[in-house]
Amino acid sequence: MTNEIETLWEDIYGTAYPDEKDTLLELLEERSDQATNTSTETDWYQTGVVYSLYVDLFADDFDGLIERLDYIEELGVTVLWLLPVLESPMVDQGFDVSDFSRVRDELGGTDAFLHFVEAAHDRGIKVVFDVPINHTSDQHEWFQDARESEDAAYRDYYIWNDDTEKYEETRLLLKGVSDSNWTYNEPTDDYYFHRFYDVQPDLNYKNPDVLIDMVRILTRWQVEGVDGFRMDAAPFLWKREGTNCENLPETHTILQLFRAAFDYIAEGTIMIAEANQEPADVVDYFGDGDECHVAYNFPIMPTFFLALAENDPTYITDELASLADLDVPDTAQWFTFLRVHDELTLEFVSPDERRLLNDEYRRDDDWEFRDGEGISGRLYNLLEEDPERVLLAYSLLFSVEGTPIIYYGDEIGMANDRAFFEEMNEQLGYDDSRYLHRGPFDENRKAAAMTDEDSNAHTIWTGLREMIETRTNNPTLFNEQPTYRAENGVFVSTRTHGDRTLRTYNNVTTEPRTVDGVALDGYEYAWRLSGQ
């Protein structure tokens, strides 16, 4: 394994940094000696159900989250994806990290977090969290040092230029929020580079000390018991003039080195690629089974909404057929979703489809994100507060390959929170529509879901729990690759293992349909399990 790490290091830096390479190897040997949480279960990410939440908005802090584990377990969740928990000034809801080594005090701090991890593990629930590996907050001590002088110790941890004309081919990722990838730094009379907010300067991985420090940070959390990391902004790590600074070979090699480092210490710690890219680029983040274990299936997400908008399931089957042609390692897995904390992204659909989706789902100008390339909003709002359409969307999600993600509150039909949206935009000074669907967990809707059989919240909660229970009770079927077809306006998914078969029928039209003798009303779904 050390030979592999040395090779990866030299693929990035050549032979120019022998002392730094030795430092890395010594660090990994030390971490290996510290590891006590080794497990024989290394493919856990290929099964179960993921639940994504902000700790503060869902449960106030980690003590509160421990108290909510009963609720999470009752839903049937097996993996908790914690949105940013590390120290941060919270300009970008925690994705602007000011200290990678500490959990925020208002969440209870690092000790409370580790206590929570132990409590989750006692229930068989895995814990992963976000790490923005591409950038830091401008309040990070590295950047605070770097911005003061060209001779500062951490100056080369970031990217500087005398003007804004470097890397001109890079996209603006937050169009309508940030109008440049460069921001002026008065103390040194130059500019620093960033792909997101101007308070999130990009790290400079051409400096090997950056890579060593990030490995040191991540492997420290690994030996503390964290089961995996969502590698936020993974495609942007390496920059090269004359390119769009995305998906470069060195970026993939850096991720492979992270993977090799984790595996050297203890296999089973997963890396999740947050790569909102074209499908052929997304699958590259699996490597040959030696890069990220998981990638978010961004390409399939908009097809669910297209199918419902146009009453046409071929949007889904066509995309699945395209993905089937791509080379995905057997050990890799998709994480699939209807909604998460970010927008319904429309970057990589066709212009006609983008217009169609905006016309259908952007029912308020405040829902616009990135000048029409995204739509903000809760699933419940996007589907016109119709619980049957929400459950149909979930049935579509569970019908396709991959491990499904539920965004906190969507399981009870939580709605957009306009007050939170207005409060956060006023407080932070950015016009970011995503705060519509990032509000505090709705306790009233939770109570309705638990008790009021006539409520929309109860309908969604009970229907989704049934789907999760079927998935949990039939792991061999859900480990099988489904086959798909679109017939008479119905999306049909079939899983078979031995003599057992599960077929899911999803009528995405408004009219009654019959397929294989299964009669469905408009926007109705049915699951048929046969065999012993």
What the block records as the tokens of 423 is: 């409060």
Residue 403 to residue 18: CA distance in whole angstroms: 41
Least confident range from 172-176, 180-184, 232-236: namely 172-176
> What is the tens place of the pLDDT at every residue in 25-80?
999 999 999 987 666 788 999 989 999 999 999 999 999 999 999 999 999 999 99
Question: Residue 32, class by beta-carbon neighbours within 10 Å (0-12 exposed, 13-18 middle, 19+ buried)?
Answer: middle
Active site residue 232: yes
Q: What is the DSSP string of 318-378?
A: HHHHHHHTS---TT-EEEEES--SS-EE-TTS-HHHHHHHHHHH--SGGGEETTTTEE---
pLDDT in tens, 144-171: 999 999 999 999 999 999 999 999 999 9
How far is Cα 334 from Cα 45, in angstroms, rounded to an integer?
A: 9
Residue 471 has pLDDT above 70, yes or no: yes
User: 22-26, 312-316, 474-478, 525-529: which range is least confident on average?
Assistant: 474-478
pLDDT band at 276 (very low <50, low <70, confident <90, very high): confident
Name residue, tokens 């959390």: 221
Q: At what angle do helices 301-310 and 351-361 cross, to 10 degrees?
A: 70
- Give per-residue pLDDT as tens, 397-423: 999 999 999 999 999 999 999 999 999
Q: Which domains does the chain have, with CATH numbers?
A: 44-136+208-297+332-342+375-478 (3.20.20.80), 137-202 (3.90.400.10), 483-530 (2.60.40)
Q: Is 274 a catalytic residue?
A: yes
Q: What percent of the chain has pLDDT over 70?
A: 99
Q: The pTM is what?
A: 0.95
Reduce the secondary structure of 72-103 to three states and give it as a string. HHHHCCCEEEECCCEECCCCCCCCCCCEEEEE
Q: How buried is residue 169: exposed, middle or buried, by Cβ count under 10 Å (0-12/13-18/19+)?
A: exposed
Residue 86 has pLDDT above 90, yes or no: yes
Catalytic residue among 61, 96, 138, 274: 274
Of 138, 232, 319, 343, the active-site residue reads: 232
